[in-house]
A and B are shown apart, each in its own frame.
Chain A
Amino acid sequence: MIVNIAWRNVWRNKLRSFVVIAAIALGLWGGIFSYAFMQGMSDQQINSTIHTETGHIQVNQPKFLLNYDLQTNIKNSVNIEKTIRSFSGVKGVTSSIQLTAMASTAVTSFGIKINGIDPESFKTVNELNKYIIKGNFFDEKIPNSAIIGQQLAEKLHADLHSRIVITLQSYTGEITYFAFKVVGIYKLQNSEYNEQMVFVKKKDLQNAIGFPNGNASVINILLANNEITDSLERQIQAKFPNLQVQTWLELSPMMQVMSGTLNQMSMIFVFIILLALAFGIINTMLMAVMDRTREIGMLLSIGMNQKKVFSMIVLETLFLSLSGSIVGLIISIITVYYFGIHGIDLSFISEGINAIGFSSHVYPVLDIGFYPKFAFMVIVIALISSLLPARRAIKLNPAEAVRGE
């Protein structure tokens, strides 16, 4: 009976119910969307490290990262790559020669890290080719071509088709000079990377410095997903105990600090938004109860007991919050889906964002399991919020209430 009355009450005053439902829907949407947004931002930072820098896992000789010595290389990397490729969960494997060198133009010289890559296998691990802003990613068969970052190009006053002279050490230790032609300029979020990393074809570099064919300085591995990173790290390490096997997180510990902060901050923000939602509900429900003072007074005076009035109001809230949650979930799913594909362009907030390139777009993501969790949380919050107005209602003095204001 109470359920019936409560249900009818909800639809008796459509405007009021609409306001409450909208408040709940919006609150739920706010919580879900902001969480998805933060998740998207954090994922994006991690992904940009994985997909444009290290891959999920990097393999090299234990002392290699200390000084990028050519001699500290992986012998017979071709076979090792083959073995790693056969592990399940491995999506792409590429190997490269890495060494420090100096790039010069007529204007200035600059210390760089040169990467001799195999463009085809590199593409299966690294998405650098998507961030070329000028020229292309080794598409043409130009000998001794190089791809440099935008910042380095600016520092060297170099542009597409410019010649840069690279001074480096050959495999046997002599200083050698090589001219490379800039065929592509990339721009990543990481300005340090843009300034330092120069990419050339592995074959060209091998010829230039006499690096043994079939060896490599580092092997980078892309996996099907991030969850299996640790287990594959262990598998690869077990198979090649003499090599250093590191995950992207070990290679860039600063990422952990950044994503840690972001996660904790997002929790606090979602909490604040839910708090706002709770107060929104309390307020509207209080108003609603006040609006219905006379009606509730009537119910009390015709003998409806306090318990029943109390549960009526709580039930009303439950109906309202259920409807609100459904509406909110639908809006959330649609917006997260939409912006998950099209992204939110942050560049309108500040010009500085433009400078960070692709990450000026954030793509919200949310695990499907989070939706019901959030909805449940919002319904609980709504019910708790309804306790105060419900208590108010049963405290009303029937006589006064009926008399009105």
Chain B
Amino acid sequence: MKQYFKLAWRNLWRNKRRTFITLASVLLAVLLSICMRSMQKGTYANMIGNAVRFSTGYIQIHAKGYWDKPTVNNSFENNDKLINALTKNDNISLIIPRLETFVLASSGEHTKGVQIIGIDPEKENQMNGISKKIKQGSYFSKEVDGIIIGDGIANYLELSVGDTMVILGQGFQGITAAGQFPVIGIFHFPDDRMNNALVYLSIHSAQNLFAAPDRFTSISLMLNKPRQIEETKKNLENLLGTSNWEVMEWQTMNKALTQEINGDNAGGIIMLVILYVVIAFGVFGTILMMTMERRKEFAVMVAIGMNRFRLILILLLETFFIGIIGILSGLIISFPILVYFNLNPVKITGTAAQMFEQFGIEPIMPASLDPQIFINQGITVMIISLVASIYPLIYVKRFKILDALKQ
């Protein structure tokens, strides 16, 4: 067996130019498929990251039952143990507590249902930069406390900064939560649905209003490595137990985004398949040419008594070597390229870019460095190369020595 390895290896380097060309085709196949997949995954990750920033975070922790019945009754008490455990988890970059529920907002004759969110001003701002979205008045600060409302609500209830908004809702254990708050800021998000439906209080005001001292309805988590979300979720579930808690990932909470990404991803996979077809034919063409070039060589070898099956084995090993070397070097070369495009992402241009910026999304398509991409694409290209090498094998098994020698 060792002999065959040696023979195959030596064959490769006998005609270096030919080997290099074949190697190059495999290398490029790996490189391009990795680049494409990495771009796709990176762009999805960017879109997801930005979407969850403005909503639930990657993971949310609730008291069990909150998701089905989002009321203050389904809130939970803040506890140091929980926060400590979350802080210790390496993958969690930001812990954002909230107390939110549906209430009536009223001013003068008008009343309107709104979603009220009690926030930790500093952490919320770290998460989504909301302080930059305030177009009138100011964000929460040590000196200023009150209520921050969407411009759609302000418009409907005819409120401006300094006016008073009345809130009526249900607090903890059904206690009536009624309060009036000075409007300190009016925000404008690009999505009008948010402008028409969201108001913010500082978490302490909210806890007072809802008679829920030191209680939260949710803790949102931002992650360092979003692709390890499943792992982190399982960790948290093991830590907290699922009898009193629900740990939910954005996929479950934001179905619309999940659908969007799934749809795009399916499209991305079709693109990838098309790329494979083009690549496979490139590799196949090269191998076909190589076989044609070596017809005489094969004929001579069989003529002097080489068993055809041994020849096939040697050819297989050659392809295998070329595949391995091509793929490995493809991986090595693609890595710095992807790192570069990860750090200096492709910029989206035109009106779409302005739109992105309005949404607070960076208009970029960063490359993803998920190791899974490298592994998957390496394996796929290896399979493509091996499939392409079936042609020379069939040829060797069937060719007639005399015909081949005549050429």
| B293 adjacent to A290 (CB under 8 Å) | yes
C-alpha gap A327/B351 in the complex (Å)? 37
In Å, the complex CA distance between A254 and B257 comes to 11
B15 and A65 contacting across the interface, CB-CB below 8 Å: no
Q: Is A400 on the interface with B (CB-CB < 8 A)?
A: no
Q: Are A349 and B266 in contact (CB under 8 A)?
A: yes
Q: Which residues of B contact A352 (CB under 8 A)?
A: 258-259, 262
B339 contacts chain A at the CB level, 8 A cutoff:
no
A286 contacts which chain B residues (CB < 8 A)? 21
* B282 touching A34, Cβ below 8 Å: no
B263→A359 contact, CB < 8 A: yes
- Are A346 and B266 touching (Cβ within 8 A)? yes
Neighbouring B residues of A65 by C-beta, 8 Å: 192, 196
Q: Is the CB of B285 within 8 A of A22?
A: yes
A277 adjacent to B267 (CB under 8 Å): no
Q: B interface, by DSSP: helix, strand, loop or mixed?
A: helix
Are A260 and B355 closer than 8 Å at their CB atoms? yes
User: Is B282 within 8 A of A280, CB to CB?
Assistant: yes
Report yes or no: B155 in contact with A63, Cβ–Cβ below 8 A. Answer: yes
A265-B365, A276-B282 known; A30+B277 contact, CB < 8 A: yes
Assign chain B's interface to a size class: 35 or more
- In the assembled complex, the CB of B10 is this many whole angstroms from the nearest CB of chain A, namely 15
Q: Which residue of A lies closest to B154 (CB)?
A: A66
Contact digits for B26-59, partner A, Cβ 8 Å, 1 yes 0 no: 0011001001100110010001000000000000
Are B281 and A23 in contact (CB-based, < 8 A)?
A: yes
The residue in chain B whose Cβ has the minimal distance to the Cβ of A111 is B113
Query: Given A254-B191, A256-B355, are A265 and B25 also a contact pair (CB < 8 Å)?
Result: no
Q: Given known contacts A283-B21, A284-B286, A287-B293, is B271 in contact with A37 (CB within 8 Å)?
A: yes
Q: Does A305 make an interface contact (CB < 8 A)? A: no
> Residues of B contacting A33 with CB < 8 Å?
274
Partner of A67, one of B156, B190, B282: B156
- Across the interface, which residues of A come within 8 angstroms of B265, CB to CB? 349-350
- Kindly list chain B residues whose C-beta atoms are within 8 Å of the C-beta of A362: 267, 270
Chain B hits for A179, CB < 8 A: none
Per the 8 Å Cβ criterion, residues 292-318 of B in contact with A are 292-293
Cα A290 to Cα B294 in complex, Å, equals 12
Residues of chain A within 8 A (CB-CB) of B386 are: none
Q: Which of B72-80, B136-144, B223-231, B342-350 contacts A (4 or more CB under 8 A)?
A: B342-350
Contact A263 B352 (CB under 8 A): yes
- A260-B348, A268-B365, A269-B36 are known contacts. Are A253 and B190 too (CB-CB below 8 A)? yes
Complex alpha-carbon distance, A381 and B279, angstroms: 16
> Are B352 and A264 within 8 A (Cβ)?
yes
User: Which one of A184-192, A221-229, A233-241 contacts B?
Assistant: A184-192
List, in ascending order, chain A residues with CB within 8 A of B355's CB: 253, 256-257, 260
Chain A residues, CB < 8 A from B28: 276, 279
Is B166 among interface residues, defined by CB-CB distance under 8 A? no
Q: Mark B323-336, 1 if CB is under 8 A from A, else 0.
A: 00000000000000
Identity of the chain A residue whose Cβ is nearest the Cβ of B195 in the assembled complex: A66
Given contacts A279-B28, A280-B278, contact A287 B289 (CB under 8 A): yes
Would A283 and B282 count as touching, CB distance under 8 A? yes
How far in angstroms is the closest Cβ of chain A from B308? 21
B259 lies within 8 A of A189 (CB): yes
Write out the residue numbers on chain A whose beta carbons fall within 8 Å of the beta carbon of B104. none
Q: Which of A13-21, A129-137, A311-319 contacts B (4 or more CB under 8 A)?
A: A13-21
B350 and chain A: residue at smallest CB distance = A260
The chain B residue with its CB closest to the CB of A44 is B263
Query: Do A283 and B285 touch across chains, with their CB atoms under 8 A apart?
Result: yes
| Shortest CB distance B263–A (Å) | 6
Instruction: Specify which chain B residues have a CB less than 8 angstroms from the CB of A269 in the assembled complex.
Output: 36, 39, 271, 275
B196 touches A67 (CB 8 A): yes
In this complex, how many residues of chain A approach chain B with their Cβ under 8 Å: the count is: 65
Across-interface contacts of A253 in B (CB, < 8 A): 190-192, 355, 358-359
CB within 8 Å for A265 and B21 given contacts A38-B271, A284-B285 = no
If the complex has contacts A23-B281, A284-B285, are A41 and B267 also in contact, measured as CB distance less than 8 A? yes
Write out the residue numbers on chain A whose beta carbons fall within 8 Å of the beta carbon of B15: 405
Residue B2 at the chain A interface, CB threshold 8 Å: no
Contact flags (1/0) for A47-73 with B, using CB distance below 8 Å?
A: 000000000000000010111000000
Q: Is the CB of A275 within 8 A of B32?
A: yes
A26 an interface residue at 8 Å Cβ cutoff?
Answer: yes
Chain A: minimal CB distance from B130 (Å): 18
In the complex, A27 Cα to B285 Cα: how many Å? Answer: 13
B190 to chain A, nearest CB (A): 6
A230 interface residue, CB < 8 Å from B? Answer: no
Measured CB to CB, the nearest residue on chain B to A269 is B271
The answer to whether the Cβ of B387 comes within 8 Å of any Cβ in the partner chain is no
Indicate if the CB atoms of A66 and B196 lie closer than 8 Å: yes
Q: Contact: B288 with A19, CB < 8 Å? A: yes
Contacts of B190 in A (CB 8 A): 253
Contacts of A261 in B (CB 8 A): 43, 47, 348, 352, 365
> Could you tell me the distance in whole angstroms from the C-beta of A379 to the nearest C-beta in chain B?
16
B269 CB–A CB distance under 8 Å: yes
Q: How far is the CA of A263 from the CA of B351 in the complex (A)?
A: 12
Q: Are B352 and A287 in contact, with the CB atoms below 8 A?
A: no
On whether A256 and B267 interact (CB within 8 A), knowing A66-B196, A67-B196, A291-B293, the answer reads no
Does B25 lie within 8 Å of A283, measured CB to CB? yes
- Determine whether the beta carbon of A19 is less than 8 Å from that of B43: no
Query: Contact at A276–B350, with CB atoms within 8 Å?
Result: no
Question: Of all chain B residues, which has the CB nearest A66?
Answer: B156
Complex CA gap A232/B288 in Å reads 58
Distance from A344 Cβ to chain B, minimum over Cβ atoms (Å): 7
Q: A287-B286, A287-B290, A405-B15 are in contact. Are A30 and B196 (CB under 8 A)?
A: no
Q: A261-B43, A405-B15 are in contact. Are A63 and B156 (CB under 8 A)?
A: yes
Q: Given the complex, which residues of A lie within 8 Å of B262, measured CB to CB?
A: 350, 352-353, 356
A3 within 8 A of B: no
12 contacts between A and B (CB under 8 A): A27-B278, A37-B274, A260-B352, A263-B352, A264-B346, A264-B365, A268-B346, A280-B285, A283-B285, A287-B21, A290-B21, A349-B265
List 5 tightest A-B contacts by C-beta distance, closest first.
A260-B352, A280-B282, A287-B289, A346-B266, A66-B156
